């Protein structure tokens, strides 16, 4: 573990390892743990095929319980269960993902230079889609009428269908499930404006992908997930926000806004397309106003007992 953290790679000119105060680690905690996991798997394969003695397992694993595992990984049987736990693991720093504030999203929206960029930002921050889901949307996924039964869809109101599929731009929906995501009038208007812009720029485009290259080659090809991340960085700089807003921060903003507006956790879970109810909790960032309201709803003990002469 010490070697992984401080030893430069073969491409480095540093001839010696210099750990200590003031020295910069060569590899971070996450990278070190990934290498350790790979080494353990290699050794486990070697033990299974009798290439190394079984005593090697005692050096890389110890007996542990399942109490430190997430609830979904502990199983349904009661009582403590034992498992093999890795001996060597670096403590990874916890990184909390902040939400993009409404003011930041509005500033980014005003910094957009095209209807396509405005629609992209709304799909991230207003609908809460991941970049892979946004880049993988097809025009046939968008049902923006109040009644979509003529399209063969019984879902009421404007919505977009999110589905995992193979896409030529490498876009991929993390969620295995297919679901319909409701959209409001702001998103519908953004769809309409983008449709006009796309027809003006590419009147003969027959690509079924929703978001395509309009202003630089290859024209008509679907945008990539990397391009969506670059767009958020560019909008953050143009809006002079002082920090970079990522697509994930936009997704967190959408989930938090639903709860701030009175939505429940199961509604957030369904809107984000998540299977596990616990997966939605990291996306919730209560606003200061909602926290203040929660405190003010607690009754005063003095007022509560005034009638009892205390």
Confidence of residue 27 (pLDDT cuts 50, 70, 90): confident
Residue 30's Cβ-count burial label (10 Å; 0-12, 13-18, 19+) is exposed
Of these ranges, 114-128, 175-189, 249-263, the one predicted with the greatest mean pLDDT is: 114-128
Lowest mean pLDDT, pick from 106-120, 175-189, 239-253, 280-294: 280-294
227 pLDDT above the threshold of 70: yes
Lowest mean pLDDT, pick from 38-47, 75-84, 181-190: 75-84
Mean confidence (pLDDT) of the chain: 85
To which residue do tokens 């290498």 refer? 35
- 295 versus 180: which is more confidently predicted? 180
CB atoms within 10 A of CB 201: 16
Query: Which pLDDT does position 71 carry in this prediction?
Result: 55
Of these ranges, 14-28, 78-92, 261-275, the one predicted with the greatest mean pLDDT is: 261-275
Query: Which pLDDT does position 264 carry in this prediction?
Result: 83
Q: Which two tokens stand for residue 9?
A: 């790679």
To which residue do tokens 């299974």 refer? 48
> If DSSP states are collapsed to H, E and C, what string results for the chain?
CHHHHHCCCCCCCCCCCCCCCCCCCCCCHHHHHHHHHHHHHHHHHHHHCCCCCCCHHHHHEEEEECCCCCHHHCCCCCCCCEEEEECCCCCCCCCCCCCCCHHHHHHHHHCCCCHHHHHHHHHHHCCCCCHHHHHCCEHHHEECCCECHHHCCCCECCEEEECCCCCCCCCCCCCCCCEEEECCHHHHHHHHHHHHHHHHHCCCCCCCECCECCCCCCCCCECCHHHHHHHHHHHHHHCCCCCCCCHHHHHHHHHHHHHHCCCCHHHHHHHHCCCCHHHHHHHCCCCHHHHHHHHHCCCCHHHHHHHHCC
Confidence of residue 246 (pLDDT cuts 50, 70, 90): very high
223 pLDDT above the threshold of 80: yes
Nearest residue to 191 (alpha-carbon basis) of 261, 250, 255, 127: 127
| Averaged pLDDT, 253-282 | 80
| Averaged pLDDT, 248-266 | 87
55 pLDDT above the threshold of 70: yes
288 pLDDT above the threshold of 80: no
Query: Which pLDDT does position 20 carry in this prediction?
Result: 64
| Chain centre to alpha carbon of residue 13 | 37
Structure confidence by residue, pLDDT tens digits, 119-153: 999 999 999 999 999 999 999 999 999 899 988 99
Structure confidence by residue, pLDDT tens digits, 65-117: 766 665 555 555 556 677 778 888 888 776 667 889 999 999 999 999 999 99
For 84-95, letters b (16+ CB in 10 Å) and e give eeeeeebeeeee
Structure confidence by residue, pLDDT tens digits, 105-124: 999 999 999 999 999 999 99
Q: Is the dihedral of CA 159, 165, 169, 172 positive or negative?
A: positive
Confidence of residue 17 (pLDDT cuts 50, 70, 90): low
* Beta-strand relationship, 82-86 and 61-65: antiparallel
What does the alpha-carbon distance between residue 298 and residue 286 come to, in Å, rounded to a whole number? Answer: 17
Task: Give the gyration radius of the chain's Cα atoms.
Answer: 26
For 154-168, letters b (16+ CB in 10 Å) and e give eeeebbbbbbbeebe
Query: Which pLDDT does position 177 carry in this prediction?
Result: 83
């Amino acid at each position: 573990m010490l070697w992984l953290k401080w030893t430069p790679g073969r491409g480095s000119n540093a001839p010696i390892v210099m750990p200590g105060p003031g020295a910069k680690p060569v590899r971070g905690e996450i990278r070190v743990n990934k290498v350790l996991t790979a080494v353990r798997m290699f050794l486990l394969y070697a033990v299974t095929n009798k290439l190394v003695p079984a005593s090697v397992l005692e050096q890389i694993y110890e007996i542990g319980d399942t109490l430190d595992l997430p609830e979904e990984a502990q199983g349904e049987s009661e009582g403590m269960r034992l498992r093999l736990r890795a001996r060597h693991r670096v403590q990874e720093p916890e990184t909390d993902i902040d939400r993009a504030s409404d003011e930041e999203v509005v500033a980014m929206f005003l910094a957009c230079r095209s209807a396509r960029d405005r629609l992209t930002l709304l799909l991230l921050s207003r609908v809460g889609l991941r970049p892979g889901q946004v880049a993988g949307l097809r025009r046939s996924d968008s049902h923006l009428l109040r009644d979509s039964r003529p399209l063969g869809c019984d879902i009421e109101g404007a919505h977009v269908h999110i589905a995992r599929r193979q896409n030529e731009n490498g876009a991929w929906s993390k969620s295995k499930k297919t679901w319909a995501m409701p959209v409001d009038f702001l998103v519908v208007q953004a769809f309409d404006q983008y449709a006009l812009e796309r027809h003006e720029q590419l009147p003969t485009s027959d690509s079924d992908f929703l978001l395509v290259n309009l202003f630089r080659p290859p024209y008509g090809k679907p945008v990539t997930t990397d391009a969506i991340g670059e767009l958020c960085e560019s909008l953050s700089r143009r809006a002079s926000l002082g920090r970079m807003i990522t697509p994930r921060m936009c997704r967190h903003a959408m989930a938090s806004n639903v709860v701030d507006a009175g939505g429940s956790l199961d509604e957030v879970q369904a809107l984000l397309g998540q299977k596990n109810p616990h997966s939605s909790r990291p996306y919730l960032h209560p606003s200061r106003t909602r926290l203040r309201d929660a405190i003010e709803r607690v009754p005063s003990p003095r007022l509560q007992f005034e009638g009892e002469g205390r």
